[in-house]
Structure 1
């Protein structure tokens, strides 16, 4: 979930005259995440008084929340010419500087905002703290530095404490964040966001049941406070991810709470896009496709809609629409392309390239799709953790050659969550791609498979089948010494587990494979050993045809 940049709720304590009542209504709408309502109020104020500094500043902040930076800059620059709250707009411009990586210019703007501030005025200090906290390039230490100055001036200010809580939370200082949020709610029991954030801390600590209790306490105070339902939605989503047995139930619960959140905020295009982002998270692609089509009715040209159409079309089986939509989205230079966009495009090309019988894939579409996946990794290396599923689809379709590069990505870092699994499937993909009768074994590739199985043994020594796979791979390479070594180690591993393990039909079959392959490896160099292992096979399976005929040939 995106972090919501609620700048403006903390800048309004000193409003008492003029448009004060209207601005307070805008403040409440922003806190409730009813951004379109807030924009309407603020635009009405600005229409009457174009240079109202405070109204322009708050409007600019809403545009930042909605990632419309050009409009934010216009509002801030217009607000500088105002009277009431004009200095705050330097902070808005400073926030844009921070987002652009220009910390020196940001500090210069912040200094201008503080230049004529009154000694007991905390408004500008809070605003600067918020800017550092919610910039796309945050600096939580700087935020805390400015907010502590505000705390020295007024330690009992609830909004100072709320801002400090957010900065400490960003800085991963959970204890200080908890204390600040608690203080904020104690100083102002109407400040529901502070109480809600106590639940957010519990959610972050994976205490999902306790987080839900905390959120329900907020609902008990005000059942119409929309943001708490978004937090409940995210909590159930994360709980479902961490508890697979409950995942379908919790995902549906999460969707229900998100719908409730939308009903209490607004159904604007921006809100629908946030909803679409959530539907991607919970993998409700039918609902995502419906939402995307509703957004097209509202705005036929907004390019971001093509992302949602691409995702949902792929998941719902419409590959052509998926490719066309995602290529249109990526081709637009104004769009911020993310790794998932290229991942979906690549896998869509794989699906399109699959032959009708499912036995082969168009080489051009495969290579183009693989190129897209590499672009995804360049943007976000951790997207590699999502490739395991892609590789397994190819593996299941027996497209072993195509699966090899997909699994290889996940074998490069022991920290990847699928590291062991990817090494297993990487090795197996190479093995099965080379063990066909009409294929000359690629010894270099098979050596990589052997290394992959070795990685599995290092990372998970109790995984006995890794020894079996390593034996098979070395047998295919014609490496008799290593074949004997690893098959012997496989038998030793299963023997350690006792008679019950050996009695399992699948294990017995693998032990027989081990004995027969070891015997065959000895056949040309040590006939006594070969006979010994064939005899072990016959002890387990007296009718084993391969062992019986091989013993006859060895006499």
Structure 2
């Protein structure tokens, strides 16, 4: 969605294209993100006047927004042979060069675009500035440099200020972006995108209530300006993500605003795909599956639809369809595969491999799924934060060995938001996987689990169970000195919290386990100490049979 939002304004016309009403309407449609309508208008213009350079330039821009690069190039090439605005098409060709990483070719085309330009003409400079801002391989500093040249020529050009605001915003310079957007709207109060961007800046600063207020001001001016509803949707979505108590309410509000946005754009396949992207964000997978099937009716071959089918099928419980859809999507070399595609594919294989009783998972599907998840992490390390929920689902099924491999991925970097929890679950998974009658304890794995619990106690000293499970883990390894050390630390830290804490049933049970295990660890080396700890158990639980029988054996 962010990528769409950026590209949707990537090449808005920079100045008035004469008095041509039809061109003005096409520009208005582009700004309103009604791209199919804009294409239809521009094609009509070009049918009547094939040599209209600006119409070709705008048409090429719309094709680029929709990721149809070949069609964009055809439009730009035709535009070069045109009359009015022909040189702008060099900028379009330059963007294609930038996207391919051909900086030299891009700069050559940009130079041709402004060669012999009139002294006060900033149109070409604005287009070049936008090209550097919105290329898939952007150069924000260069964009700002070019646009400042345009500003020197005409500081009162609203589109110069708008383009400069976009470049500053992309370069994370919110202060200068604010000034530029404010100037743009003051110069031209009809330039609603500039005013809308002031609200977008507030959203970026997480001032969500102020952002909503600013965006509502745009709606008050023109309730039919579609893009503002998309921004409202994204603002409520992000607000919900940052305010869990209101998350469900704000997600529903976000969906309503996005539906309103769609109603003000053309209901094209591209619009539906943008809608699908948003449904993924708000995790409305029932609606996503409906939307994906509507898109199939419109276009049975567009490969991106398989992504949406894969995501929604997985979330709605159909692992078979999810795997088939995502494998079809990933196998297409023309698709831009993202890490989330591999994450969903991997987890779908886990789901398919789960036995009917939920007690085991097919090892072939599990290994294949783990390979997909590792690909996802290689592509985008931050996706590790999404593995936590995947691991928990498998942990809940008591598939501890399989869960451990997933949680281990998130235990490496303290910057990950689930770092502490992933270490806890990793340690628990390894412990429970090895604490079975028919399993020979894996010492190497248990040492890693012990290290994970150590990380937890360092990062979160108040999590006392970290000490308790270090005791359990070392006991399973047969490391008596460390077993004694960590169980004693657990009991001591619980005691620091006072009698109320110690009297809690779960805590009391763990203290008794700690005393008994410490006593057993001393049994072969120090019978006096062993008896001391068994007696501590009996003080808390006089009927404890393990302590009673063990004391008899010690004698």
- TM-score, normalisation: structure 2: 0.98
Task: Write the deviation string for residues 204-236 of structure 1: whole angstroms up to 9, x where unpaired.
Answer: 111111111111100000001100100010111
**Structure 1 position 49, deviation (Å):** 2.0
Residue 357 (structure 2) aligns with = 357
2:75 and 2:376 map into 1 onto residues whose CA distance is: 35
Alpha carbons 2:13, 2:58 under 8 Å: kept: no
Alpha carbons 2:487, 2:518 under 8 Å: kept: yes
Residue 13 (structure 2) aligns with = 10
**Structure 1 position 116, deviation (Å):** 1.4
Alpha carbons 2:276, 2:291 under 8 Å: kept: yes
Q: How does 1:229-378 map to 2 (within 5 A)?
A: 229-378=229-378
Whether 1:516 aligns to 2:516 is yes
1:137 and 1:462 map into 2 onto residues whose CA distance is: 46
Task: Write the deviation string for residues 156-195 of structure 1: whole angstroms up to 9, x where unpaired.
Answer: 1111111111111111111111111111111111000011
Alpha carbons 1:219, 1:225 under 8 Å: kept: yes
Q: How does 1:75-90 map to 2 (within 5 A)?
A: 75-90=75-90
**Structure 1 position 102, deviation (Å):** 1.7
Moved more, 98-107 or 428-437: 98-107
Residue 32 (structure 2) aligns with = 32
Show structure 1 runs of 5+ residues with no match.
none
2:498 and 2:196 map into 1 onto residues whose CA distance is: 55
Whether 1:44 aligns to 2:44 is yes
1:194 and 1:187 map into 2 onto residues whose CA distance is: 10
Task: Write the deviation string for residues 95-148 of structure 1: whole angstroms up to 9, x where unpaired.
Answer: 111111122221111111111111111111111110111111111111100010
Residue 108 (structure 1) aligns with = 108
Alpha carbons 1:230, 1:261 under 8 Å: kept: yes
SS of 2:117's equivalent in the other structure is coil
Alpha carbons 1:12, 1:27 under 8 Å: kept: no
SS of 1:8's equivalent in the other structure is coil
Whether 1:416 aligns to 2:416 is yes
Alpha carbons 2:276, 2:292 under 8 Å: kept: yes
SS of 2:525's equivalent in the other structure is coil
Residue 446 (structure 1) aligns with = 446
**Structure 1 position 52, deviation (Å):** 1.6
**Structure 1 position 11, deviation (Å):** 2.4
Alpha carbons 1:8, 1:27 under 8 Å: kept: no
**Structure 1 position 296, deviation (Å):** 0.7
Alpha carbons 1:196, 1:214 under 8 Å: kept: yes
1:503 and 1:117 map into 2 onto residues whose CA distance is: 84
Residue 198 (structure 1) aligns with = 198
SS of 1:528's equivalent in the other structure is helix
2:543 and 2:186 map into 1 onto residues whose CA distance is: 81
Residue 141 (structure 1) aligns with = 141
Q: How does 1:478-489 map to 2 (within 5 A)?
A: 478-489=478-489
Alpha carbons 1:410, 1:419 under 8 Å: kept: yes
**Structure 1 position 47, deviation (Å):** 1.6
Task: Write the deviation string for residues 331-357 of structure 1: whole angstroms up to 9, x where unpaired.
Answer: 111111111111111111111100110
Whether 1:525 aligns to 2:512 is no
Where do 4+ consecutive residues of structure 1 move more than 6 Å?
Answer: none
Alpha carbons 1:431, 1:473 under 8 Å: kept: yes
**Structure 1 position 8, deviation (Å):** 3.2
Residue 534 (structure 1) aligns with = 534
Alpha carbons 1:12, 1:24 under 8 Å: kept: no
Alpha carbons 1:140, 1:170 under 8 Å: kept: yes
**Structure 1 position 539, deviation (Å):** 1.6
Task: Write the deviation string for residues 291-327 of structure 1: whole angstroms up to 9, x where unpaired.
Answer: 0111011111111111111111111111111111111
Q: How does 1:385-464 map to 2 (within 5 A)?
A: 385-464=385-464
**Structure 1 position 271, deviation (Å):** 0.2
Show structure 2 runs of 5+ residues with no match.
none
2:500 and 2:221 map into 1 onto residues whose CA distance is: 60
- TM-score, normalisation: structure 1: 0.98
2:167 and 2:333 map into 1 onto residues whose CA distance is: 33
**Structure 1 position 401, deviation (Å):** 1.1
1:251 and 1:158 map into 2 onto residues whose CA distance is: 35
2:485 and 2:510 map into 1 onto residues whose CA distance is: 15
Task: Write the deviation string for residues 79-106 of structure 1: whole angstroms up to 9, x where unpaired.
Answer: 1111111111111111111111122221
2:174 and 2:413 map into 1 onto residues whose CA distance is: 30
Q: Give the paired residue count.
A: 552
Alpha carbons 1:9, 1:28 under 8 Å: kept: no
SS of 2:12's equivalent in the other structure is helix
Alpha carbons 2:14, 2:160 under 8 Å: kept: no
SS of 1:9's equivalent in the other structure is coil
SS of 2:18's equivalent in the other structure is coil
2:500 and 2:119 map into 1 onto residues whose CA distance is: 80
Alpha carbons 2:11, 2:131 under 8 Å: kept: no
Alpha carbons 2:388, 2:418 under 8 Å: kept: yes
Moved more, 501-510 or 435-444: 501-510
1:74 and 1:381 map into 2 onto residues whose CA distance is: 38
Residue 504 (structure 2) aligns with = 504
